[in-house]
Structure 1
């Protein structure tokens, strides 16, 4: 990579994974559903203002908007809610990042189910199995099987994996099959953000009553999550996609667990245990195998 591309890549990795840390800072002041709701309500308003100023705000019709809104519900709403529920149940941020790192592996292995000609090879399936084993190994040594809360906390990030994998496969099918009109990035993000806001409004209002302590620490965390993570990291990701192959951009998500573990150690003193390192190493082996380009069955 060129120096500029490396800087953009480093910025993306840091900003994206800082979302786990920002969420931990915000959760003491509100519930998981409400935090996602406030974040995406504000993000939607910011994008609307931007689109209005650029004279690009428009309704594209349900046929075009609906798949983008579904992607938003899965890739933003379900993904983030499950992450926050896990963090709210005292699962360390680095471990949550390790579990959700299964998503690119799962997407690569399952892409053949929705796109003909993209069948996963044996190395990719082996990589997925190894990655899953690495996560299970790490979680098994941390989970308290006698506590329902602990079991729930460590299992719920799998919902994030399911949500983001489904969204990625839908997006991939749209691009290959051209079943829906492709929208500009900013307009697509608007519909994704709007759908996430509307979906999270229900549990935020009826379950958590929108209970929020509007203290400075919460406001700072919310601002960071909106502008640095939801906008900053998203913009940097698309800048990278313009410069390098999408698969190389996707590989940057595998840096999430170690980077988040380091951030969590610096911010909260979360200690990395030996089995965390072992599980992380196994996941990286799985990642390496998943990148092997071979036609072997």
Structure 2
């Protein structure tokens, strides 16, 4: 694997998982629908003016635009909304992380049918090892005495389904339509525009765009907009161009342990011995999938 790809993986993992920390900071000031709408409204505006000044703002046709908008709706809108709704329902973050970590297994199981890329025994072993590491890391942190609604516990599965479909769709497009490939800035513009449109009505009618515009919230939003909504997703799509869907999906196993480490830095959360052991197992699993 090239050094540039390794660095891209590091950037993606750090930026992507910082979104959970940003959400924990931001949710006390607004609702999940409004938070996501504001993020993608800002991203859409930024990309609009960027493409306009570069003379790259153009209509790419209904078929191409609709494909990218659907991927964006799934990878941005549904994935984030389900995760934030679960957190807003006071579901323990460990349970949310564990459920979302089902995504690599789902991608591995379906990628052969969708992208025709074969999953080797070596990769399957890596996926299983990584999942064991996630389970070990999270199991010792779950508070089984804390109750939440059934909806809260089931909604993260929507994130799994959405990001799995989006990843496979994006990879299939990369393999089949290389000649008609759009630049990454145009792709992200259509994806963020679709996310903004879909989140507008729930943010308006359910939460009335209620926001406490305090300095802390503003700083969090700037990070979520630039680093996570733009930076992390650009890194992910670049990785999908370079690696097969299973290898990219396996990186989501790093979510729970990396997020726990970030929570230790941001909120002073305790790091347990089982966290370190779990992280080590996850890394071994990911190394198996990358070879």
Normalising by structure 1, what TM-score? 0.80
Give the structure 1 partner of residue 66 of structure 2: 66
- Give the Cα–Cα distance (whole angstroms) in 2 for the partners of residues 4 and 119 of structure 1: 25
Give the structure 1 partner of residue 194 of structure 2: 195
**Local SS of the residue matching 2:65:** helix
Any conservation in 1 of the 2:130–2:253 contact (CA below 8 Å)?
no
Shift of 1:262: 0.5
Change beyond 3 A, Cα 1:74–1:5:
closer
Give the structure 1 partner of residue 262 of structure 2: 263
Change beyond 3 A, Cα 1:204–1:61:
same
- Give the Cα–Cα distance (whole angstroms) in 2 for the partners of residues 205 and 250 of structure 1: 33
- The answer to whether structure 1 residue 85 and structure 2 residue 85 are counterparts is yes
- Deviations 1:107-158 (CA, angstroms, capped at 9, x unpaired): 1221112133x24345555655665566566666625377233x54444322
- Give the Cα–Cα distance (whole angstroms) in 1 for the partners of residues 182 and 56 of structure 2: 11
Give the CA RMSD over aligned residues: 3.4
- How many residues align? The count is 288
Can you give the 5+ residue segments of structure 1 that lack an aligned partner in the other structure? 293-297
- Give the Cα–Cα distance (whole angstroms) in 2 for the partners of residues 81 and 261 of structure 1: 21
Any conservation in 2 of the 1:36–1:77 contact (CA below 8 Å)?
yes
Give the structure 2 partner of residue 218 of structure 1: 217
Change beyond 3 A, Cα 1:94–1:11:
farther
Give the structure 1 partner of residue 243 of structure 2: 246
Can you give the 5+ residue segments of structure 2 that lack an aligned partner in the other structure? none
- Deviations 1:209-241 (CA, angstroms, capped at 9, x unpaired): 222111111111111100111223344456667
Give the structure 2 partner of residue 167 of structure 1: 166
Shift of 1:82: 1.4
Q: Counterparts in 2 of 1:1-297, with a 5 A limit?
A: 9-91=9-91, 93=93, 96-116=96-116, 118-122=117-121, 124-125=123-124, 128=127, 142-144=142-144, 147-149=147-149, 152-178=151-177, 181-237=180-236, 245-247=242-244, 252-272=251-271, 287=286, 290-291=289-290
Shift of 1:184: 1.4
- Give the Cα–Cα distance (whole angstroms) in 1 for the partners of residues 193 and 15 of structure 2: 22
Any conservation in 2 of the 1:86–1:96 contact (CA below 8 Å)?
yes
- Give the Cα–Cα distance (whole angstroms) in 2 for the partners of residues 8 and 123 of structure 1: 23
Give the structure 2 partner of residue 295 of structure 1: none
Any conservation in 1 of the 2:257–2:275 contact (CA below 8 Å)?
no
Change beyond 3 A, Cα 1:285–1:106:
farther
- Deviations 1:77-97 (CA, angstroms, capped at 9, x unpaired): 111111212222344556644
- Give the Cα–Cα distance (whole angstroms) in 2 for the partners of residues 241 and 167 of structure 1: 11
Normalising by structure 2, what TM-score? 0.82
Any conservation in 2 of the 1:69–1:191 contact (CA below 8 Å)?
yes
